[in-house]
Amino acid sequence: MLLDADIIFAGSVAPAQHGTSRVIPRTAEITLVECLTSEQAIIKVERNLQERMIPDTFSNKNILITGGLGFIGANLAIRLVELGAQVTLVDSLIPEYGGNLFNVEPVKDRVTINIADVRDEFSMDYLVRGRDFLFNLAGQTSHLDSMRDPYKDLDINCRAQLSILEACRKHNPGVKIVFASTRQIYGKPDYLPVDEKHLLHPTDVNGINKMAGEWYHILYNNVYGIRAVSLRLTNTYGPRMRVKDARQTFLGIWIKRLLDGEPIEIWGDGLQLRDFNYVDDVVDAMLLSAADERANGKIYNLGSDETINLKTLAEKIVVLYGQGTYSIIPFPPERQVIDIGDYYSDYSLIRARLGWAPKIKLNEGLRRTLAFYRKHKELYW
């Protein structure tokens, strides 16, 4: 514990964390800490750094976001425009996925939108040129669809990832890439919380293809020096997520049913544990990983300390909305066979290395999400 009057000086050695001591760079502000653990104190100092580093890193930079009209891509695009970046979005707007032109409404006159498919090698050869950063988020996200149409998932989540990297190798090897990977690649956890050392044994085709997509990025970093980092996202939620169905996240269809006055359907016994990240926190992690050279070639879990079971989550949403009901029903058989049971992440690696930790609590994130869909439901139903 550090006491009220303890001060962390720029340039000093921070308290040991995970067995190492770390030098706080001289640019850090002197931080007066009120009764924080040493780890919290380091995060606080890192946050000061992040707040200063991120605008400098992205202002006037040339950025490509694949999947940029989707849920996370659009939230990222809005933030990057606010930071002064020149942003191009590439998205195929395949109707079953989360792309929606309204997602970028707040910045529609300040981004370039290219409706193209990342499977088109000629388009990608052209689109990657001259970019400082590539946020590679285009993907098929439905686990069930990947079982029904495995070749489409293979083409988008695996083959196209390789061709994006080949385009970078040939036309822009200096680019820095952030890849959106997923906790799905761990499959049914052998232990909890799941850290990055956990074996990868996905339970569905989507998990296998995302795993390959991730490792192509790490391979190109290691072999060709094309700087890349992979973030293994857990359940991400917030404004602009797809709520028409459960393709992107079950939480989406829960919110739609709640607002439509229908009961939320919980599959299974409702006791499955999950962790959730609000989308702004995921955007933070992406920006930090892009900005920090220490992230090159690394794989980091994202996660949250607020682990919750699905029944409690449903109760929470009903309370926050002020009305609604839920029912617990048996798993549809085709989902049961690919279900991963309980999952929550150990995200201590990215916290220790890059100082990332989620800031938005579940209650606040859900409140903001409900408010967004109350206002804009006709554009997402």
Ligand X SMILES: NC(=O)c1ccc[n+]([C@@H]2O[C@H](COP(=O)([O-])OP(=O)(O)OC[C@H]3O[C@@H](n4cnc5c(N)ncnc54)[C@H](O)[C@@H]3O)[C@@H](O)[C@H]2O)c1
Q: Closest distance between ligand X and the C-beta of residue 95, in Å?
A: 9
Nearer to ligand X, 72 or 258 (CB): 72
Give the residue with the Cβ less far from ligand X, 46 or 153: 153
- Burial of residue 175, with CB atoms counted within 10 A of its CB: 0-12 exposed, 13-18 middle, 19 or more buried: buried
Provide, rounded to whole angstroms, the least separation between the CB of residue 302 and ligand X: 9
Q: What does the binding site for ligand X look like in residue numbers (CB under 6 A)?
A: 67, 69-73, 91-94, 97-99, 117-119, 137-141, 156, 160, 180, 182, 233, 235-236, 242, 248-249
Tokens of 63: 């950025």
Taking the complex as a whole, how short is the minimal distance between the CB of residue 257 and ligand X, in angstroms? 18
Please say whether the beta carbons of 366 and 306 come within 8 A. no
Picking from 270, 243, 273, the residue whose alpha carbon sits closest to that of residue 258 is 243
Our CB check for ligand X shows the closer of 180 and 308 to be 180
Is the Cβ of residue 48 or residue 163 nearer to ligand X in the bound state? 163
Integer Cα distance of 153 and 72 in angstroms: 19
The nearer residue to ligand X, 72 or 218, going by C-beta atoms, is 72
Q: Smallest distance, Å, CB 207 to ligand X?
A: 10
- State in angstroms the smallest separation of the CB of 282 from ligand X: 8
In this complex, which beta carbon is closest to ligand X, that of residue 79 or of residue 242?
242
Sheet holding 176-182, edge to edge: 111-115, 86-91, 62-66, 133-136, 176-182, 228-233, 299-301
Least separation in angstroms between residue 8's CB and ligand X is 34
